[in-house]
Amino acid sequence: MDFSLAISALLMGVVEGLTEFLPISSTGHLILLGEAIGFRGPPGKTFEISIQLGAVLAVIWLFRATLIRIALGMWKRGSHEYYFALNLALAFLPAMVLGATLYKTVTELLYTPLVVALALIAGGVAIIAIERARPDPSIHSVPEIGPLAALLIGFGQALAMIPGTSRSGATIISALLVGVDRRTAAEFSFLLAIPTMIAATVFSLFKNRAELDFSAAGLIGIGFVAAFVVALVVVRWLMSVISRIGFTPFAYYRIALGLLILGWLAVR
C-alpha cells in the first residue's frame, strides 16, 4: 500500500468522524479535504460510503441500550418507546422521499467548493440567529417531541442534501425552533442519523453498484476505523458539553471557514 495514500485515507476518516455529528458539515469538509490533498478513493464512492458507515456504527454502539429498548418496546402502542420510534420514522420520511427524488440533481450540480462555502456561511448565520431568538425549551426528551414537530425537524434535515449545510446542523436548528432543548436536540439528531445514513448508504450503493471497487480494501479499512473511533469520542464529548456551550461556537467556525474558502476560490 502506498504510504501517502494510507495517510490520506486516515485523514479522510478522521475528518469524517470529527464532522459527521457536529453542525459543521461532514460532506463539505470531505469535499474540501479531498480537493486540497488530491485524494481519489476507489470508484463508485466506495470509500466515502464505507467511512460514513464507520461513523454511524459509532452512534449505534453509544446508543445501543436506547436502541434495544426501542426495538423491544415500540410494539406497545402508547408507550414511550412507541412514540420514540414514531418520531424517528416521521422525521426520517422527508429526507427519504426528497433524497430519492433529487439525488442525481444534487450530486451533479451542487457538489462544489463554492456551494459548500455559501452553505457554511448561511448555516452559521442561521445558527447564531436561532440560538439568540429561539423559544424557551418546552420539550426535554425525545418521546415528548410529537408527530408534527418530528415531521418539521425531518423537513429541516432534508435541507442537508445541499453540501455544506450539515445534516446534524439542520436537524438541531429545526429542533431548537420547535422548542426542543439543546441536549435532546443533539440526541434526536444522532439517533435520526442512524436510519438516514443507513438508507443513504444503501441507496448510494445501489446507484453506484456497477462501479463499486473494493480492491483498495486496506485504504477503506483505515478510513472506516478512523471514522468509527473519532466519532465515538466526538459524540460523547458533545453530549457532555452541549447544554453548557450551545451551538454558537460552531456557527462562528462555519462562517470563518466559509469566508476562507471564498478567499481561496478568488485567488486560486
Give the pLDDT confidence of 108-117 residue by residue, as tens digits.
Answer: 778 888 898 9
The DSSP-derived string for 88-107 is: HHHHHHHHHHHHHHHHHHHH
Report the candidate in 253, 254, 257, 251 with the shortest Cα–Cα distance to residue 130. Answer: 251
pTM metric for this prediction: 0.86
Q: What is the mean pLDDT of residues 234-254?
A: 92
Q: What per-residue confidence (pLDDT) applies to 56?
A: 93
Q: What is the mean pLDDT of residues 241-260?
A: 92
**pLDDT at residue 17 greater than cutoff 90:** yes
Task: Please state, as a whole number, how many other Cβ atoms lie within 10 Å of the Cβ of residue 148.
Answer: 10
Q: What is the mean pLDDT of residues 128-133?
A: 92
Q: What per-residue confidence (pLDDT) applies to 171?
A: 94
Give the pLDDT confidence of 33-58 residue by residue, as tens digits.
Answer: 888 888 877 665 678 878 888 999 99
Q: What is the mean pLDDT of residues 213-224?
A: 80
Give residue 158's identity as a one-letter amino acid code: A
In three-state secondary structure terms, 171 is: helix
CA 51 – CA 49 distance, rounded (Å): 6
Q: What per-residue confidence (pLDDT) applies to 209?
A: 72
